[in-house]
Each structure stands twice: as C-alpha cells, then as structure tokens.
Amino acid sequence: MKKKISYEDIMYEIIDSLEKEGLLPNHLDYVSVGKYDDFSKVKITNLESERLELKYSLDYGGSEGIYLDVEAYDFRYPDSDKWVNVLTIKTLNTDDSSMADMAGIIGNISIKFRKFIDDNWELLSRVGYRIYGKKDKNDKCGISSMVLSKDKIQETLEKMMKNYPSFNYFEIIDQDSLEVIEIVERKQ
C-alpha cells in the first residue's frame, strides 16, 4: 500500500527541495512545519483536490524579523472556511532585501506545491474506487474512471468496455489502500 499523504509530508518535501536547490535564504532563523495544529499531520483521504491550495501571509514580526505563514484549507470542516497554518518561515533580518527574499519563497513554494499535487494526484484522491483500462496486460494505464461506491463498479466497467473496445484488461483499485481488488479480462 502506498502511504497516505499529509500536509506535513508535502511541506517537508517542499522545504527539502528548496534547500537542495539553494532557494532558501541563508539568513533564516527557523522553518517550522505544522507548528500550531495537528491538522498538518492529518492524512488527505478525500476528494479535497479542488481545495488543495495555499494562502500566504508575509509581514514584519512584532518585535523582530519577517514571518511567512502558509495556511491550507481545513478539509475536516467542509462547511466552514477554516484555514490552518502548515508552515512558518522566519528570518531575524528586517531589511528590504530580506523581505524580497521572503516574498520569493512564496513563489517557489507555490511552484513546488502545484508540482507535488500534479505528480501525486492519485495518492490524494483516496475515496471510492478507480478502474484502470489497459490495451494489453503489461501496458500502462490508458484510461481510467473514478467510482465512489462499490455498487457502481460493474456498471462503470461495462460502460468502459463498451466505449473502449481496444482495451482488454481492467484493474479495479481500492482508492483507500491503493490495492488492486480485481482484474477483469475482456472475453474475446
């Protein structure tokens, strides 16, 4: 089973990537992931992808430094508009150049975040079932369809087989565990 992903996982990967690429300023005081709430550790398991976005707050601290706070939508409460801190980056410097550096981090985080979401979309949609169609047994997936309930799998599979006659193998994946629960081969 592939690991479910949390905002903590995403933020650590982004910060690690920014460090390796030398995109974080040398004058940082600290970087803190999910410091204020356990939300950052909650695994993303629903179809929150339309709300997988970040909000940024960049400002001078009350006594010293510049703070960049990154927030994510709290999908645990879909009927609210609650956002929770998932990352704080702070520098002790307060000069204009440091502010510009911190603003640049926002762009780099946004780029890395979007790339992470694009590269890992299957690990983030962990509800229901996915049917992957292949032309041949050893081919990569050529088509796929999402099904939210188990009772809709057969109906969706039949539609896929009818609409895609050149596809002969269909894998049915449980999105929660990402395990293949059934392989259906078209009967010739």
Quick: pLDDT tens for 134-169: 998 888 888 888 888 899 999 999 999 999 999 999
Report whether pLDDT(70) > 70: yes
Task: Kindly indicate the confidence band of residue 45, based on its pLDDT and cuts at 50, 70 and 90.
Answer: low
Q: Calculate what percentage of the chain has a pLDDT beyond 70.
A: 94
Q: Residue 22 in contact with residue 78, Cβ under 8 Å?
A: no
- The token pair at 17 is 């990537």
Angle (CA) 86 88 89, round 5°: 145
E-only strand ranges, 13-65: 28-33, 54-60
Burial of 1 (0-12, 13-18, 19+ CB in 10 A): exposed
Report whether pLDDT(125) > 80: no
pLDDT at position 158: 94
φ, ψ for residue 177, nearest 5 deg? -100, -15
Q: Calculate what percentage of the chain has a pLDDT beyond 90.
A: 55
Task: Collapse the DSSP code of 96 into the 3-class scheme (helix H, G, I; strand E, B; otherwise coil) and give the result.
Answer: helix
d(CA 83, CA 70): 10
Angle (CA) 175 179 182, round 5°: 100
d(CA 38, CA 160): 41
For the chain, what is the mean pLDDT? Answer: 88
How far apart are the two ends of the chain, measured CA to CA in Å? 32
- The token pair at 161 is 């087989």
Burial of 163 (0-12, 13-18, 19+ CB in 10 A): exposed
